Chains A and B, each alone.
Chain A
Amino acid sequence: MLKLFLCLRYLRKLKLVFLSVAALGLSVGLLVIVASLFSGYIEAIRLTGHEVYGDVYLKPWIEIPECGALIDALESLEEVKAATVVTESYGLLYLGRGNVKGVKVLGIDPDSYSKFYDLENRLLKYRHSSEGRNFGSDFAGKKGYISIGVLTRPDEKTDVYDFDIARQWLGKEVVFTTGAVVKKPTAVRSPEDNNNVEVVPGTPYGERLRTRTLKFKVSGIVHHGIYFIDNSVVYLPIETVRQLHSVQQSKYGGGQGAVKIRLFEGTEPRDAIESVRRVWQKSANQWGLDKHLIANTLLLTADDIQHAFLAEVHKQKVILMLIFTIICSAVVLLIFCIIYMIVISKQKDIAIIKSCGVANSSVASIFVGFGGFVGIAGSALGVLLGAVVTRNINLIEYWIRVALGLKLWKSSAYVFDKIPARIDTAMTLWVVVFAIIAACIGALIPAILAVRTRPIDILRYE
């Protein structure tokens, strides 16, 4: 009780203590903000990966001949919740006079694709209304959805798309062109021997490329909020894309199919990979696909695909946290100075309580406790500051742009059009523990000095 009383008394008297609380709060706040920004970014990239690739991604580098049978076989696995085939191909989109864009066309089946990606609610026309939706019929035959960045660019200063300009494209006709493989074998030069020309029929080497074009109507505009998707992706019905690539005529289509697999909650993607591989190999053997093509099929989890990049961002987070922690460690010095001052100015108090029989450990614990109190108060302040800034980071960024004209976050540089911050609880706890320990360390030497105070020296009359 006496210790608490003395701590509170010193706190009330010394305004300087609040400086150390403020400094500690600032340090903790900054560390919490940095950790939260990085964690939010890493998590957003990870989730985007799961949306784009599914939990498990199978890419055989060819058009999949019998999608329905493969999907049924995959969905019969106990780990698999849903599966869908997507045809991916690249091409050029002619939008109008002098306006050509390079795009990635995804051929999708809207029903099964919606189990992976909420495309419907990302359409501008359905965004604020649940009525009058006809997602299926809007997306059939020669109709398709175009991502907003293909049609218009975000404003250079605000980084915001003009939705009204984008909506003007609805119902307009655009032309898509891509290369397609036709069956007729042709002579190609052997990669092994520069001088020889050889014909390898029945393999991709033996087939010939032709360009194909498709006119379709824009029936929807999609805004994903993810720059590289907004800037390049066009959605067409899977059958339309397959016809464009003449899949019916060719074993090796120009467009490349991929299977996205969603697993049941709690299933570890790596554990499911072997079951998926067995299903794929069985189906591919039944279709009589080339052994090399079966062996070279890409079968990865979404986390595996992004592993290298995520690891790099995580490393940068750790390095930045380390740098800031080194600087913030100076707070130890600040707390040391302040408590040292308290010890020096309160020597008489210390001498009196020691002369009343208080043990050295109790005297030390007053000051270490005082440091701990500074640590707890500073941490609480810092966590509060960090939480407020993290939760309102987009609003803060907006006001910085309005007030200073500085656009700090651009989707073209950082992928997302909003800052994906989320409070990193685990890291915040570590920072708080570190801050309290640092504050106690800062109080340790002054506490030892206090213990070494001899009442006889301090309370002498002269």
Chain B
Amino acid sequence: MLRRRITYLVLVSVAVCVFVVLVVMTIMTGLARDFESKNQRWFGNCILSSDSLVGFPYYEEFIKKLGSEDFIEALSPVIAVQGILTYQDTGYQSSVQVMGIYPGKHSRVTSFAESLYYHRDGPLRAFEPSDDANLPGIVLGIDKIRDRDEYGLYYHEPEPLVYSFSLSCFPLTARGSLARAAVGIVNSKTFYYSDDSHSALANVDGDYVYLPFDEVQILCGMAGGEKRASAIHIKFVEGVDIEKGRDRVRAVWDKFVEHKRSAGYAELLDGVRVETYKQFRREVMVAVEMERTMMVFVFSLLGLITVFIIFVVFYMIVSHKSKDIGILKSVGAGDIDVVSVFLLFAVLIGLLGSAIGTAAGAAFLAEVNGLEGFLFERYGFQLWSRAIYAIDDIPNKMDLNVVTAIIASAVAACLIAAVVPSYMAARLRPVDTLRVNRL
């Protein structure tokens, strides 16, 4: 049957389909995986957070308790509030997400230290402005202060420039009301630029600023009375399953809440959620997953065309090989034998086409970044403009699961397409096909 040239066309069709699907799905899966990994590194494995800006008390006690568990590697208390940042040299204002952190602790849980430019090797000094370490420092999300060039790179001066910013917050009492309702309502303080943070997560780098934990605690009124925090970011010991780790943290937390039931402001502990980083960032992560699902659905529809082609080609082969089938059956071959010949043929086409498509896809993916670089240098073409999207290189690492799924789908498509023609072949009667007037 391989002598029929039409078979090669089917092979090409399967190979092209596998090639395109493999390239697109590898890139999309790579982007999704990259995004997931960035989120995990940026937020830690697990996050215990309050859904209210008031925060929750007794966080230090809980950190001590949880820190003694064997599955915990590091913990970082965080205050997350809304603030308004004013650039003092231009008067430009923007609303920001303020994160109060202890840079050393936070760097043990997340990739905060790696995200810094000037203090990458010494995150403990992240909030020290270069010209005067005694001034209060601020680390800005990189997109708040710098623009990406067309290569996705940011320009940094050898030493950080001197910028000052005024940050204002509403200080809230533990009950959520305005702490200074009678005296000016808002807390403001001037901070000096000490570094910027590049998490490579677009909405983080464009919205967040980082300040010393204690400063933010005072600014937003969480330092008075029973001190409060907004969240605790947690890193598990290597090898701990994230879902199981979260369940263990939740169990410790529930016990802790029960223990504190009669303490003051215990009601604030009820609004605290224990989530994995995926749950914590579900709003953005679900969108990426959904795009991948939609792409799979669209490619499945397009795959139908390949199924039609294989069906028609097999139909042609059966029509033209009716005499061969007649002879086979006349020498004793059963219906199942005839069906199995065609199905095996379908599997071989599926495997061979997939092998060609996968090899071509692998070769293309290996060179895709070089190719994009060449196209950009020559014609200014980029698959994604790095000035707009926070994407580094095009992901080109093939995922074994994706490759296996694509090959399995291709073989299954070939088998499905071959079922009806094989059945028709099995139904052929030698007495009809081998009649003298039909030879």
Contact = CB atoms under 8 A, between A and B. Distances in A.
B242 interface: no
B16 A330 contact: yes
B412 to A, nearest CB: 17
A27 B383 CA distance: 24
Contacts of A359: none
B84 A92 contact: yes
Contacts of B186: 92, 177, 211, 213
B298 interface: yes
Interface stretch (A127-135, A405-413, A448-456): A405-413
A225 interface: no
B141 to A, nearest CB: 14
Contacts of B312: 16, 19-20, 334, 337-338, 341
A97 B97 CA distance: 19
Interface in A263-315: 308-309, 311-312, 315
Contacts of B94: 90
Contact of B287 (A16, A311, A323, A410): A410
Interface residues of B, number: 74
Contacts of A256: 92
A85 B20 CA distance: 51
Interface in A18-63: 19-20, 22-23, 26-27, 30, 34, 61
Nearest to B167: A179
B53 A98 contact: yes
B294 to A, nearest CB: 6
Interface stretch (A76-84, A115-123, A188-196, A424-432): A188-196
A69 interface: no
A191 B290 contact: no
Contact of B302 (A98, A181, A315, A327): A327
A178 interface: yes
Interface band, chain A? 35 or more
B406 to A, nearest CB: 13
Contacts of B384: 312
A30 B302 contact: yes
A91 B287 contact: no
Most chain A C-beta atoms within 10 Å of own C-beta, residue among B12, B162, B319: B162
Contacts of A413: 284, 287, 290
A91 B95 contact: yes
Interface stretch (B36-44, B120-128, B172-180): B172-180
A99 interface: yes
A433 interface: no
Interface string B155-191: 0000001111010111010011110000011101000
B16 A327 contact: yes
B162 A191 contact: yes
A100 B170 contact: yes
B330 interface: no
Given A90-B94, A330-B17, A100 B84 contact: no
B176 A333 contact: no
A90 B315 CA distance: 68
A169 interface: no
A254 to B, nearest CB: 6
A102 interface: yes
B366 interface: no
Contacts of A209: 86, 88, 91, 166, 188
A10 interface: no
A114 to B, nearest CB: 26
Contacts of B54: 97-98
Contact of B90 (A103, A204, A410): A204
A90 B385 contact: no
Interface in B76-95: 81-84, 86, 88-95
Contacts of A406: 290, 293
A211 B171 CA distance: 13
A23 B301 CA distance: 10
Interface stretch (B62-70, B107-115, B303-311, B344-352): B303-311
A345 B384 CA distance: 51
A194 B95 contact: no
Given A211-B168, A327-B16, A410-B286, A26 B304 contact: yes
Contacts of B308: 19-20, 22-23, 334
A410 B188 CA distance: 36
Nearest to A232: B95
B302 A312 contact: no
B112 to A, nearest CB: 22
Given A99-B176, A312-B384, A326-B20, A194 B91 contact: no
Contact of B93 (A179, A213, A324, A345): A179
A19 B168 contact: no
Interface in A169-210: 175, 177-179, 181, 188-189, 191, 194-195, 204-205, 207, 209
B162 A189 contact: yes
Given A102-B95, A204-B90, A337-B309, A92 B293 contact: no
21 contacts: A19-B311, A23-B305, A30-B298, A34-B298, A89-B93, A97-B177, A175-B185, A177-B186, A178-B84, A181-B91, A189-B164, A194-B131, A194-B162, A326-B16, A328-B305, A331-B305, A334-B312, A336-B9, A337-B313, A338-B312, A344-B320
Interface of B: 6, 9-10, 12-13, 16-17, 20, 24, 52-54, 81-84, 86, 88-97, 131, 161-164, 166, 168-170, 172, 175-178, 184-186, 188, 283-284, 286-287, 290, 293-294, 298-299, 301-302, 304-306, 308-309, 311-313, 315-316, 319-320, 383-385, 387-389
For the complex of A and B, list the 5 residue pairs with the smallest distance between their C-beta atoms, beginning with the closest: A102-B95, A97-B176, A98-B176, A413-B287, A98-B52
Given A102-B84, A254-B86, A327-B305, 10 more contacts: A20-B308, A92-B83, A92-B84, A100-B81, A178-B93, A179-B93, A211-B184, A330-B306, A337-B309, A408-B294
